[in-house]
Amino acid sequence: TTKKRKEEAKADHQFKVGDILYQSWGYEQTNIDFYQITAVLNKSVRIRKISQEMVKSAGFMSEYVKPSKDNFIGEESTHPIKVYLWNDKPNYSVSNGRHSLTMYTDGDKGIYQSHYA
């Protein structure tokens, strides 16, 4: 069944300590929050929010940002690993309640962020 396959896939996740996750959110703006994995458990991970660095301007009130690894600005918390199957291939994320955190893979290029005021 799909439920059984998801549970099996969840145990095969590739998250490891030091990995960077991010979330993108906002209305009429794009906010980026970065998190670093501090511990890996069976079906969850412990994460802490980390600061960001501006890579380059993208125009008026927008820029590209990247994570500042090991520069912790939040408390550690535990979050479940989520898996969904696409053509029977597992895709992983970490749930923080309101948003899904995904693996940051943009390196020094950064990711787009915009804001008001």
Per-residue pLDDT of the chain (117 residues; tens, 9 = 90+): 677 777 777 677 789 999 999 999 888 899 999 999 999 998 899 999 999 999 999 989 999 999 999 999 989 999 998 888 888 788 888 988 878 898 999 999 999 999 876
Contact 34, 24 (CB under 8 A): no
Q: How many Å apart are CA 25 and CA 113, to the nearest integer?
A: 10
Q: Strand (E) positions, the chain?
A: 20-25, 31-40, 44-59, 62-72, 77-86, 89-95, 100-103, 111-114
Q: How many Å apart are CA 20 and CA 38, to the nearest integer?
A: 10
Q: What are 83-93's pLDDT values in tens digits? A: 888 887 888 88
Give the per-residue pLDDT at 83. 85
- H-type helices in the chain, by residue range? 2-10
Give the per-residue pLDDT at 56. 94
Give the per-residue pLDDT at 27. 84
Give the per-residue pLDDT at 117. 66
Structure tokens at 2: 């799909």
Q: Is 108 helix (H, G, I), strand (E, B) or coil?
A: helix
Taking residue 93's Cβ as centre, other Cβ atoms within 10 Å add up to 20
